[in-house]
Structure 1
């Protein structure tokens, strides 16, 4: 990997093109980022404080919230720093660090959503076996495997990208990713492109397939049950479905934009970045907070206790 002393910093030219609108952009990012941190923190604290919520679904929900915080924190502070410091550049090492965490973020969300779909499948389709299958130890093992595999694959991608010799050092986007750095390279990057495609298939296509497969089984079982059972099953699945659809749509637009970034307006590049890194971490805990009765009840209980204490 090139040393920081010999490698010029990566300059983000998109800010100069925005002109006066850059302040509005940074203000928007700052507000959404802080709101996202607050709602995720509230959700995590509620689940940790309530012993009756220490169940597999809520453990996965905590990890989903923390993954969202990791994703937004890998991008938003850099955008704010670039504006405040009036220096729209970062080192290659800083760019590669951002690549690592943004890759892990995207993979974590999809894999955790797949585990949550599996949890719902066991809960609805095999309720008598739920507690023997979804044990705390098994949930921890599954999460450990997810984090290990995603961290390892992202580290390999960062290593391969770091070996590239760069001929250009300007980026017309808000953040770094492996494709951005590869496009700055003086050489062909077919190995990195093939590896990136393989990783994308593993962390996006496979989890999506598992989610769809789980809901096919859930729907099949629901159609054979009573109206009341269908209503309860739908109530428990709705937050997960909304979250999955929201993040899948954001990822789809992100992938398309990444491949066509030179052919789309800068406003689309900015919107796609916010749609993937800022909006989901804010919306996901709100969706679960509104739709899941136990979380709503716990929140109301805590607020009531606080008011009585005052």
Structure 2
């Protein structure tokens, strides 16, 4: 690639090693993305239209699904374009935009999962006071903390990344993230490292600690309850637990890959797909299958359509 091109454009070097696997990846991404849009739109439509689902739990779920849909849409159409045109290029501005959406996707996911754990905690430990605690104002405050605050903070992280001077113009991932930009910079930024550590503590470590603590207390309480009560608690919490475990595992895999960069290109593809393609697809499906109220709402819509 010539110098004039690299001054304005970044090159995804990882696609050079994909070869014939690119067509397989394109098919997987296309099918998964379309399924994500369909599953997300279905659950979000049910929550929006069915007044019986206008509860804090489903408001938070709506936001979680929307966050995954935005994260997917910010990344995968570009990936599919590259795979279909065999043109692994992206503008600097486009790369920085991907950095922002990837950062925000991860931070908001953990923040929303923590807020949802709090909602489940209150509903189990203080069921009689639930509606006085989870007021519309409280829900708005939690939504602010879980969405707008991570977005604002990650905007700062993205700005720091955008100011790094670049000495290399090859991205060794299938999309841009903060680590990819840092690895292309001429020197390590102490401010970027410090900001990243603080963000990790605020939007990964603390939410995970809070979720685990909440479920330890819920499990302890369940062990003292009757069999029917334990069953009800499990039915209430199982979608959230599955979603949390799923996202935590793919995040851990991504962390391991980023730390051990000697892993082959196939590992890069797997960790990228696992992190920002499959969770947005699985989350609405998990809640759709495991949550009785969503299943009932879906059944009502189907019956209404068939009777028309």
> Normalized against structure 2, the TM-score is what?
0.96
Cα displacement (A) at 1:6 = 8.6
d(CA) in 2 for partners of 1:107 and 1:172? 23
Q: Residues 15-69 of structure 1: CA distance to partner in whole angstroms, max 9, x if unpaired?
A: 1211121111111111101101100100000111110110000101101110110
Which residue of the partner structure matches residue 101 of structure 1?
101
Which residue of the partner structure matches residue 275 of structure 1?
274
The answer as to whether partners of 2:46 and 2:294 remain within 8 angstroms in 1 is: yes
| Partner secondary structure for residue 164 of structure 1 | coil
Which residue of the partner structure matches residue 189 of structure 1?
189
d(CA) in 1 for partners of 2:178 and 2:239? 32
Cα displacement (A) at 1:220 = 2.2
d(CA) in 1 for partners of 2:148 and 2:304? 40
| Partner secondary structure for residue 7 of structure 1 | helix
d(CA) in 2 for partners of 1:151 and 1:42? 25
Which residue of the partner structure matches residue 294 of structure 2?
295
Matched, 1:250 2:250: yes
Question: How do 1:1-310 residues align onto structure 2 when only pairs under 5 Å count?
Answer: 7-261=7-261, 263-309=262-308
Following TM superposition, the consecutive aligned residue runs of length 4 or more in structure 1 with deviations greater than 4 angstroms are: none
The answer as to whether partners of 1:8 and 1:169 remain within 8 angstroms in 2 is: no
The answer as to whether partners of 2:250 and 2:271 remain within 8 angstroms in 1 is: yes
Closer, same or farther: CA 5–176 of 1 in aligned 2, 3 Å = same
The answer as to whether partners of 2:107 and 2:150 remain within 8 angstroms in 1 is: yes
Q: Residues 126-184 of structure 1: CA distance to partner in whole angstroms, max 9, x if unpaired?
A: 11110011112211111113222212211111111111111110112101111111111
The answer as to whether partners of 1:72 and 1:277 remain within 8 angstroms in 2 is: yes
Q: Residues 214-235 of structure 1: CA distance to partner in whole angstroms, max 9, x if unpaired?
A: 1122122222221111111111
The more displaced of 291-300 and 83-92 is 83-92
Cα displacement (A) at 1:102 = 0.8
d(CA) in 2 for partners of 1:283 and 1:184? 33
d(CA) in 1 for partners of 2:257 and 2:179? 12
> How many residue pairs are counted as aligned between the two chains?
305
Cα displacement (A) at 1:287 = 0.8
| Partner secondary structure for residue 8 of structure 2 | coil
| Partner secondary structure for residue 175 of structure 2 | coil
The answer as to whether partners of 1:247 and 1:276 remain within 8 angstroms in 2 is: yes
d(CA) in 1 for partners of 2:74 and 2:6? 25
The answer as to whether partners of 1:167 and 1:184 remain within 8 angstroms in 2 is: yes
The more displaced of 21-30 and 214-223 is 214-223
d(CA) in 2 for partners of 1:150 and 1:63? 13
The answer as to whether partners of 1:56 and 1:119 remain within 8 angstroms in 2 is: yes
The answer as to whether partners of 1:10 and 1:92 remain within 8 angstroms in 2 is: yes
